Amino acid sequence: MQITHRLEQRRRFLRTLAVGAAGLYTTRGLFAEQLTETAPSTEGPFYPDTMPLDTDNDLLIINDAITPAIGTVVYLDGRIMSASGEPIRNAFVEIWQVDAKGSYLHTGGRAKGGADTNFQGYGRFITDTQGRYFFRTIKPVSYTLGGFRSPHIHVAISRNGRRVFTTQMATKGDATHAKDIVMSRMSQAEQDTILRDYVPLPGSHLGELTANFDIVLGRTAQEIDGSFRGGVGKPVWDPKTFNQ
């Protein structure tokens, strides 16, 4: 029964990707002369210090495990674009976040309640010719690890082996942003570029959600192919300031 349920989850994931891909072409302002650049945000100190055995784009199931992660299932999709709306193809997109217990996939990012060992905690995806990416994960939760953080998902983008952009997708309408140690330092205009809604997945009887996070890099596709700071799997943050 558990195996059948897991297979059905996988099938639903693939069906959702197809639906999400179709919806991306209706992104408001996609063909405007200049799109609003997505605000960057700190990577924080909890980028995985040891990669999980499974690094695919389905964070709910680790390899061939039967037991899924705890949490509300979210199908996350979006496009990586330049400021003029050009799709950034073959971009290496990484996401990482805490599990339902508030723990990261990092030895220094564990909550007192422990960790959900069934949650992958990190995933990666290479964008297609339309700049699209897809993930299945859980709805993020708030946590306190040295400082309060409201729900968010970290996102990093690399091209040609070099990190070109880092940000966080925050939960729209969450009342705790005002006391968040990162969000409280951002202007409302900056916050508006990373705040996103979670909406019910059509036809789901399991309370699953969808979220769309299009990311505008503010450079042309040609510029993004150039050299920038950082690199894949190399954290860029100031250890003197506890930004997570």
To which H or E segment does residue 224 belong? helix 221-224
The catalytic position among 136, 152, 163, 219 is 152
The catalytic position among 154, 163, 177, 196 is 154
List b or e across 74-113, with b for residues whose CB sees 16 or more CB atoms inside 10 angstroms: bbbbbbbbbbebbbbeebbbbbbbbbbbbbbbbeebbbee
- The reply to whether 154 belongs to the active site is yes
- The reply to whether 149 belongs to the active site is yes
- The reply to whether 143 belongs to the active site is yes
The catalytic position among 124, 132, 136, 149 is 149
Residue 185 is classified by DSSP as G
Helix, strand, coil percentages (3-state) for the chain, rounded to 5, are 15, 25, 60
What is the residue type of 210? T
Bridge-based pairing state of the strands 195-196 and 162-171: parallel
The catalytic position among 104, 122, 133, 198 is 104
Beta strand ranges found along the chain (DSSP E): 73-81, 92-96, 122-126, 132-138, 143-144, 148-149, 152-159, 162-171, 195-196, 199-200, 209-212, 215-216
Q: How many CB atoms lie within 10 A of CB 17?
A: 17
Residues designated catalytic: 104, 143, 149, 152, 154
